[in-house]
Amino acid sequence: MAAAAATASASAEQHPHPLQGRVAIVTGSSRGIGRAIVLHLASLGAKVVVNYTANSAQADAVAAEINSSAPGSAIVVRADVSEPSHVKLLFDAAEAAFASPVHILVNSAAIADPTYSSLPDISVEDFDRIFRVNTRGAFLCCKEAANRLKRGGGGRIILLSSSLVASLKPNNGAYTASKAAVQAMIKILAKELKGTQITANCVAPGPIGTEMLFAGRSQEEIQRMIDMCPLGRLGETRDVAPVVGFLASDASEWINGQIITVNGGYV
């Protein structure tokens, strides 16, 4: 056991930056889970694209944090993942800035139901908006990545889903359905990418203490989420980012077409 631990430690010392030389796009990475992911991938050596849609100051701050510490290298690109031309722009900007094909796509951009309505009560407009960003956005990102990621090893498509797809909680029907479609797409895409050496997986977090989770929810609702978790707390963005980092690395090359649930046992 001690010998195995020593070997693992030596390997980590020899390869402190397992994503060195690789280019990663992380959508929705100016805040929340996406921010934690892009910071983590950069710490592993990746050259990263910080993507945002509305708050340029937040995105610039994330990129500045990455660029101020070795081996950080980041650019900021404004793009709406529900627009094909914007998704293409993300890849064009990455290739131009880093003189390299993109190796890793992480699609973290998403929106929640602003009213947490039951399916009979949610507006058609809100339903369409959720599916436009969460499902159409994931599709467009997958489509672009499948055609442009580096072939022959190291290509990774990682989509953020939700453990709500398994738990099927009331008043989250539209959001949950939008993420269920994402999970179905990733399982099929993994098979369709046969021969490219590109893997495609989903990470499905449970409740994570971000601005998106807290918006529109009472303290009583948040406490109920905490009480349902065997570990007695909300998840944090730091709980999700290392899982994505692993899936982005060579260590995960035998994991493909999978949904990795990261929720502390929350049901």
What are the pLDDT digits (tens) for 162-192?
A: 999 999 999 999 999 999 999 999 999 999 9
Q: Is the alpha carbon torsion for 40, 46, 52, 58 positive or negative? A: positive
Q: Biggest alpha carbon distance in the chain?
A: 60
pTM of the model: 0.92
Contact 242, 184 (CB under 8 A): no
Residues with catalytic function: 175
Q: Using CA atoms, how far apart are residues 7 and 179, in angstroms rounded to an integer?
A: 39
Q: How confident is the model at residue 217 (pLDDT cuts 50, 70, 90)?
A: confident
Q: Is 208 helix (H, G, I), strand (E, B) or coil?
A: strand
Residues 106-124: tens digit of each pLDDT: 999 999 988 889 999 999 9
Q: Tell me, yes or no, whether 28 lies in a domain.
A: yes
Percent of the chain topping pLDDT 70: 94
Q: According to the model, what pLDDT value does residue 214 have?
A: 87
SS3 content of the chain, % helix, strand, coil (to 5): 50, 15, 35
| Residue 8 pLDDT grade (very low, low, confident, very high; cuts 50, 70, 90) | very low
In a domain, 7, yes or no: no
What string of DSSP letters covers 70-82?
A: TT--EEEEE--TT
Q: Is 99 exposed, middle or buried (0-12, 13-18, 19+ CB in 10 A)?
A: exposed
Please give the tally of structural domains in the chain. 1
> Is 9 a domain residue?
no
Q: What is the pLDDT of residue 4?
A: 45
- Which CATH number characterizes residue 245's domain? 3.40.50.720
Position 131 in a domain: yes
Domain coverage including residue 121? 18-262
- Segment 235-265, tens digit of pLDDT: 999 999 999 999 999 999 999 999 999 999 9
